[in-house]
Amino acid sequence: MKFDTPATTNPIDQLNVIGHPKDRIDGKLKTTGTATYAYEQNAAVSNPAYGYVVGAAISKGRISSIDSEQARQASGVIAIVTHANAGKLDKGEFYVSRALGGPQVDHYHQAVAIVVAETFEQARAASALLRIYYVREPGQFDLKAQKDAAQTPPPAAFGPPAQTDVGDFDGAFQRAAVQLDETYSTPDQAHAMMEPHATIAQWQGDQLTLWTSIQQLNWGVRDLAKTLGIAKEQVHLISPYIGGGFGGKGTILCDAVLASLAAREARRPVKVALPRPLMFNNLTHRPATLQRIRIGTDSNGSITAIGHESWSGNLRGGRTEPATAATRSLYAGANRLTRLKLAVLDLAEGNAMRAPGEAPGMMALEIAMDEMAAKLNMDPVRFRVMNDTQVDPEQPTRPFSKRQLIECLTLGAERFGWSKRLSAPAQVLNDGWFIGMGVASAIRGAPTSKSAARVRLDRRGRVTVETDMTDIGTGTYTIIAQTAAEMLGLDIDQVEVLLGDSRFPESAGSGGQWGAASSTAGVYAACVKLREAVAQKLGLDPVTTEFVDGQVRDAGASFMLASAAAHGDIEAEDLMEYGDLAKRFSQQTFGAHFVEVGVNAATGEIRIRRQLAVCAAGRILNPKTARSQIIGGMTMGAGAALMEDMVVDHRLGFFVNHDLAGYEVPVHADIPHQEVIFLDEVDPCATPLKAKGVGELGISGAAAAIANAIYNATGVRVRDYPITLDKLIDQLPASV
């Protein structure tokens, strides 16, 4: 099926199941510990061995020699794989980092060996007996020091172009009545998902099966086959449950590659789980940024010039952090400029993390908007509203398919009690705490990607859905079941959903906020085919037949749905592809974040008191799971604003705080109250379900709203994240 014209009325619009706050199908399995994650697939393989990955002890250089004799003689050791016996290895198409280092070492903790033994403890103990000798080479580890050497990156498949120019930015900025020119910074951040990267690998002849924690099975098959130099048909990936990803498990990484190599060398299944320190320094992360934002307005506050430049670092050949993405679409302004620059750094690879681009970019942009409002002596909500645009500011002839940013801001202001906010900072002192409110807009793209599914009706009237889509904790099982139930007139408990197997039809996968909208559209397409097959089986007109309450009805005739499959299952498979609607319309999701904070007048301690997000993101398929996604994003935004910072040792070149003891993330006590409001919206240009994703909208802008609230509370403007008390305490106003 091809979606190339805006959606009209269809069975989804009945809203008998879609749009209702259903409990997650996998929720009971998760809470009772019976959901089988990658490392827990004990019934899938017999007599597995255990692999322990060894990371490089230097940040840049080469391995001169490896003495593995003592390790090989250790108790229980079965095999050791290094670059010397791994065979020729390529790289996948998405990540630039090599899964196995040697003889060259590209960054600290790059995998340089895997030790395989009968038990995990034996493998770990033997790994300490490896004698790896290195020759260090000088490396570059400091983004600020390399800023001037940064270059314009080549065009990338993901993210905005490196340079955009509309109108005459320089001239308009110089002529602007009011000007802002400020620099902001965001640090390196870790995905810090609960489930570590883990894989069980098994070879049967030349066929490789992996039970692994990965978001995009189609990318994983492609990249693992390319890395190992085998055909894609030889690779089978299974990933039914994933304990968090946030972009950090987009495709295969060193756990999958090394488990495959180890299983081949050991001639038996091998289990690998990366310890937390290796996840921080070996795997991908959100890279640090330096951002310069310039905004010019006329005397009334209308933006006449807006410019956003961002610098980030990566391994040679890596991608830049696309921090200018939001600036291209969020506000009006005839004269515009964006620039992305990339410096070569010898740190672990920087790559996608929840809302890549928008999340760190809006940490700067939305502070700048607040600073500009202050210069204009204008309310920050009003300043944002008056600079709204209903057309793509880079292409004024291209409208937004749906854009309710003003509605999000105005409703949020009303519900949050924004009118009680005092515009002058540091005016509210309550029981030793400065109290302040902040706001930020939210925007995140609403992309879609082709996605396929298979649906099968059996004689009991039950429907099974199969697709290789993954559920990374987002509620995918549930919304796919709701889609099939709505299309076929069933209750949700009459639908079984099977996910996370690369032998199922290829879906869009989880990531980029495209998963929900794309995967349900693929299920929709397959269900349309199944409806046609059922109608024809029963001698009914496929165009006019209705599927309601487990029955199939047309022109006075009524049959139980199950009767169509009385003599055998009926199966249908299809995929949803897309035309040019995304080119004709700018497709985005929008929102507004409101935050109240308290800052201790004596210590500078910061406490979030309440958060509100108002979101416009197409039809909400399941308000319960969607709310969970938004508050999860808001919580990650709080972490980015107040604590998350992978500290770089600029001398030795590694992330020092590489575990969850040193790398702080929010806990329940940090997030006392969150509220989410979804605007009533359908977007017929998005998918037949008129829905969009929400998984990354919740983090976009959230950190800046906190930063702006801190300024309103204290009068101290911090432009370098995270905002920790040491950056406030010397500047706090007198509390007497």
Q: Can you tell me the distance from the alpha carbon of 660 to that of 30, in angstroms, rounded to the nearest whole number?
A: 22
pLDDT of residue 159: 81
Looking from the CA of 506 toward its CB, the CA atoms found within 13 Å total 11
Mean pLDDT of 352-368: 98
736: pLDDT confidence band, cut at 50, 70 and 90?
A: low
SS3 category, 265: helix
What pLDDT digit, counting tens, does each position of 265-279 carry? 999 999 999 999 999
SS3 category, 325: coil
What pLDDT digit, counting tens, does each position of 98-157 carry? 999 999 999 999 999 999 999 999 999 999 999 999 999 999 999 999 999 999 998 887
DSSP strand pairing (104-105 vs 61-67): antiparallel
Write out the two tokens for 566: 């009385």
> Considering only CA atoms, which of 207, 195, 211, 204 is closest in space to residue 44?
211
* C-alpha torsion sign, points 146, 151, 152, 156: negative
> Considering only CA atoms, which of 276, 280, 275, 283 is closest in space to residue 257?
283
Question: Is the pLDDT reported for residue 735 higher than 80?
Answer: no
- Percentage, residues of the chain above pLDDT 90: 98
Q: Can you tell me the distance from the alpha carbon of 545 to that of 536, in angstroms, rounded to the nearest whole number?
A: 10
Mean pLDDT of 307-315: 98
Q: Can you tell me the distance from the alpha carbon of 618 to that of 403, in angstroms, rounded to the nearest whole number?
A: 10
Mean pLDDT of 458-474: 97
Q: Which helix (H) or strand (E) holds 134?
A: strand 131-136
CA distance to 33, 414, 463, 487, 533, per residue, from 490 (Å): 29, 40, 9, 8, 17
Mean pLDDT of 593-603: 97
Q: What is the DSSP letter of 572?
A: E
CA distance to 21, 449, 626, per residue, from 243 (Å): 22, 24, 17
Q: Can you tell me the distance from the alpha carbon of 20 to that of 18, in angstroms, rounded to the nearest whole number?
A: 6
> Considering only CA atoms, which of 460, 735, 401 is closest in space to residue 598?
735
Question: Is the pLDDT reported for residue 377 higher than 90?
Answer: yes
622: pLDDT confidence band, cut at 50, 70 and 90?
A: very high
- Percentage, residues of the chain above pLDDT 70: 100
Q: What is the pTM of this model?
A: 0.98
> Which residues fall within 8 angstroms of residue 507, CB to CB, at 6 or more apart?
217, 218, 451, 452, 453, 467, 468, 469, 518, 519, 522
261: pLDDT confidence band, cut at 50, 70 and 90?
A: very high
Mean pLDDT of 666-691: 97
pLDDT of residue 324: 98
387: pLDDT confidence band, cut at 50, 70 and 90?
A: very high
Question: Is the pLDDT reported for residue 203 higher than 70?
Answer: yes
Mean pLDDT of 272-290: 97
pLDDT of residue 369: 98
SS3 category, 581: helix
Length of the chain: 736
> Which residues fall within 8 angstroms of residue 252, CB to CB, at 6 or more apart?
92, 99, 212, 214, 219, 220, 223, 224, 227
529: pLDDT confidence band, cut at 50, 70 and 90?
A: very high
Q: Do 562 and 551 contact (CB within 8 A), yes or no?
A: no
Q: Do 523 and 458 contact (CB within 8 A), yes or no?
A: no
Write out the two tokens for 228: 């190992």
Mean pLDDT of 473-500: 98
Write out the two tokens for 236: 């089978």
Q: Do 484 and 621 contact (CB within 8 A), yes or no?
A: no
Q: Do 127 and 115 contact (CB within 8 A), yes or no?
A: yes
By 3-state DSSP, what share of the chain in percent is helix, strand and coil, each rounded to 5?
A: 30, 30, 45
Packing angle, helices 702-714 and 623-642, rounded to 10: 50
List domains and CATH numbers for the chain. 2-31+448-581 (3.30.365.10), 357-446+587-731 (3.30.365.10)
Q: Can you tell me the distance from the alpha carbon of 282 to that of 735, in angstroms, rounded to the nearest whole number?
A: 46
Question: Is the pLDDT reported for residue 69 higher than 90?
Answer: yes
Q: How many other β-carbons are positioned within 10 Å of the β-carbon of residue 309?
A: 19
**CA triplet 52, 58, 60: central angle to 5 degrees?**
120
Mean pLDDT of 732-736: 82
Mean pLDDT of 306-316: 98
Place of tokens 């706090």: 732
What pLDDT digit, counting tens, does each position of 532-584 carry? 999 999 999 999 999 999 999 999 899 999 999 999 999 999 999 999 999 99
Active site residue 309: no
Q: Can you tell me the distance from the alpha carbon of 262 to that of 208, in angstroms, rounded to the nearest whole number?
A: 12
State how far Cα 438 lies from the chain centre: 25
